[in-house]
Amino acid sequence: MFRYQRNCYTPVNLVVAILWLLLSGSSREAEAKTKINVVLKNETTIDYCGSKSEKEILISVNLGRIYSSDSLFGCNFEIKYDTNKIKLHTALYVNTLAEFFEFKQVSFYKNGTVSGALLTGMYDTQVFGDKPLIVLWGNYLEDCPDTSTVNVSYIEFTDEFQKEVDKSIGAIVQGTIKDKPERHLITSFVSDTLFFDSDSTGNTIVKVLTGAGNKLKKLDMTLTLVGSEQFEIKDIVPRNNISVDSLIKINDDYLIKTTIQDSINGKEILEIKLKEKQKKKETGEN
């Protein structure tokens, strides 16, 4: 009789016991999940004055180290970027976790959206390792220094995944110019002596030497006029493969903004015409 009472449960008690087990089990499962950050990284240094290959971008999507016990079976995601500054066009799987998913689909849209889905196959084997989830390949579009970002719109995992996303951190894409030996520019005057005509005008020529690898499109120069109380600049005339866009006077300095049409290496590029305001008084003995 005692043994029967120990092993016998009323239907109500049995339902309560099952419910308690389910609730406690789901509570323990929630507590077991650790939080992770989804971090985008730009893996390249962009040289905006370089060749096309030197303006390539590699954006990696990182989850940190994933263990087999984390039960990563699949995910889908969306990434956004500014199409005026960069363009992403290809998904790379080699040496990433994406390499081990049987189903992979990544689409690139003209509005700057990348959507992707990764899923294990019929054997349902979890993916793990200390590698980026996936890498996206693209190009920097600007020809000048600038900064842009690539951000995660969302990322979702299958229910089995034992980690939760705390926050997403975007990648900063910055265009820089590399310091190379061939990248130099030297300006000089053809003559160090200035002769004035009878009408008190004279001119001098500016010459440029550049590195062989220079591909200049714009050139801004500052000309400082020493002795502005005696001289003034009347005109600046462009010569070879260059045009003057603007001339801005700031105190005794002149900011000259130009556009380059072709190579100016070793060429005379500007003729600077000056006017003598007043001639120096000559002194002598009677």
For residue 8, what are its two tokens? 């016998």
Q: What is the pLDDT of residue 46?
A: 83
Q: What is the pLDDT of residue 31?
A: 54
For residue 153, what are its two tokens? 């719109």
Helix (H, G, I), strand (E, B), or coil: what is residue 31? helix
Q: Which residue is listed with tokens 């995601």? A: 77
Q: Which residue is listed with tokens 């005692």? A: 2
Rounded Cα distance between 282 and 200, Å, is 16
In sequence order, the 6+-apart residues with CB closer than 8 A to the CB of 193 are none
- What DSSP character marks residue 143? S
Question: Which CATH number among 2.40.128, 1.10.20, 2.60.40, 3.30.70 corresponds to the domain 185-276?
Answer: 2.60.40
Instruction: Tell me phi and psi for residue 282, to 5 degrees.
Output: -85, 140
Same fold, 34-176 and 185-276: yes
CATH code of 34-176, in short, is: 2.60.40.680
Q: Are 221 and 215 in contact (CB under 8 A)?
A: no
CA 245 to chain centre: 29
Whole-prediction pTM? 0.59
Q: How far is CA 93 from CA 7, 118, 202, in A?
A: 57, 11, 66
Q: What is the pLDDT of residue 32?
A: 59
Q: What is the pLDDT of residue 167?
A: 94
Kindly give the parts of the chain with pLDDT less than 70.
1-32, 49, 122-123, 179-184, 198, 211-215, 227-228, 278-286
For residue 23, what are its two tokens? 């609730």
Q: What is the pLDDT of residue 8?
A: 38
Q: Where are the domains of the chain?
A: 34-176, 185-276
Q: What is the pLDDT of residue 261?
A: 86
